[in-house]
Amino acid sequence: MEAKGLFNVARKEFIDHLTSRKFILILVLFLIISAVAMHGGIGDYNNRLESYKEQISQVEEGERRYMPEKPSILIIFQRMRGLMPFLGAILAIAMGFDLITREKESRSLKSLLSHPVYRDEIINGKALGGILALVFAVGIAFTILFAMLLLFSIVPDLGEFWRIILFGAVTVLCLLTYFSIALMASTSSENSGRSLMFAFVVLLILSFGVPMLGELVVKSAVGEPPERPEFQSPRVIDIEHPGEEYEEWERYRKELKAYNEKKWAIRDAFEVLSPDSNYGMVAVSLTDPYVTELHSGSWSSSHTLGETTSIQESLEKVWKNIFALIILPLIFFAIAYVKFMRLDIR
């Protein structure tokens, strides 16, 4: 493989994507829906900011004893984390599902290989061109979102800025997973129709099938949760003579904690294969600095005044999900590479 041939193919693919009506149409839809969600998030942020100002005035007048927590602009981006996987999947799959099948159907692949270019330069160039187009799309989206923030006179501090940047990088990783699935489907299918169906089947299996299988395994392996005591948790406790009710309640709490830990361990092991789940976990950790405990489909936050997690702590909580978002596209790219190198072109 030569760098010149690789970059020539990548440049051609990148330009083809940017000038494609399909890419432009989906990108415009992607940007419009993202901007609408962003506008709603800004409205939510402004409402919370007004409430914060009212509470501050109550503190100054002596009507409120505790200082309220100032809302973060990361609230705005919490709306985006639910839309990005869905919209990004459509954009990425539309870009990749016919990269190879289109060449097969037009019989241009054979003539392309007759030029002084190697097979690995073609598949790697097409992948690199698609990656650059996805980075361009996400970059445009986040540039518009930053412009909207400035338009509403909302300026992030340094910590929020880096969290937003990392959120954008994780978004790119998630879209790369979808794109790599589509590229794998394109190298494995005879035509574009089958490729598109194949890509969506793999996507549905990873996004819904694997988590559902995890839930079935959880119910089979863990069973039903421990039975809650009929009486309420005692609030006043005699340390020397705690009583049977307190002991039973403590035993229930320990059993429930062990049950939840086992359930979360199994569920996390399955959902680490789902790009949606991985993206959601990392996005939650980055856009909510109050998160103290994070599991698949659930998390808890501590809203004690001034106590927030650092960026490093937020990333450490989801390092497995970040690792999966890096490994999954590499696996699908590797499958696409091997399939293409062994492709029979006549």
Please identify which residue in the block is written with the tokens 């870009």: 95
- According to DSSP, the residues that pair with 298 across neighbouring strands are 295
Determine the angle formed by the axes of helices 158-188 and 192-204, rounding to 10 degrees: 130
Separation CA 346–CA 340 (nearest Å): 14
pLDDT in tens, 110-125: 665 556 667 777 888 8
Q: How many CB atoms lie within 10 A of CB 312?
A: 8
Provide the strand spans (E) within 58-191: none
79 within some domain: yes
Q: Which of 295, 273, 81, 231 lies closest to 171, judged by CA? A: 81
Torsional sign, CA 326, 327, 328, 331: positive
Average pLDDT, integer, range 200-221 = 85
346 within some domain: no
Report residue 78 CA to chain centroid gap: 11
CA torsion angle 329 332 338 343 (round to 10):
-120
Helix (H) or strand (E) holding 222: helix 210-222
Q: How is residue 116 annotated by DSSP?
A: S
**Highest mean pLDDT: which range of 3-7, 104-108, 194-198, 224-228:** 194-198
Please identify which residue in the block is written with the tokens 């109050």: 290
DSSP letter string, 77-109: HHTHHHHHHHHHHHHHHHHHTTTTHHHHHTTHH
Q: Which of 130, 105, 52 lies closest to 332, judged by CA? A: 130
Tokens read off for 81: 């984390």
Average pLDDT, integer, range 50-60 = 72
Helix (H) or strand (E) holding 161: helix 158-188
pLDDT in tens, 139-194: 888 888 888 888 878 888 888 888 889 998 998 999 999 999 999 998 888 888 88
Determine the angle formed by the axes of helices 158-188 and 319-341, rounding to 10 degrees: 30
64 within some domain: yes
Total-model pTM: 0.81
Separation CA 119–CA 112 (nearest Å): 10
- At residue 194, what is the residue type? R
81 within some domain: yes
| Residue range of the domain that includes 234 | 3-341
224 within some domain: yes
Q: How many domains does the chain have?
A: 1
Which of 45-59, 160-174, 285-299 is least confident?
285-299
Average pLDDT, integer, range 223-242 = 60
165 within some domain: yes
77 within some domain: yes
* pLDDT number for residue 233: 55
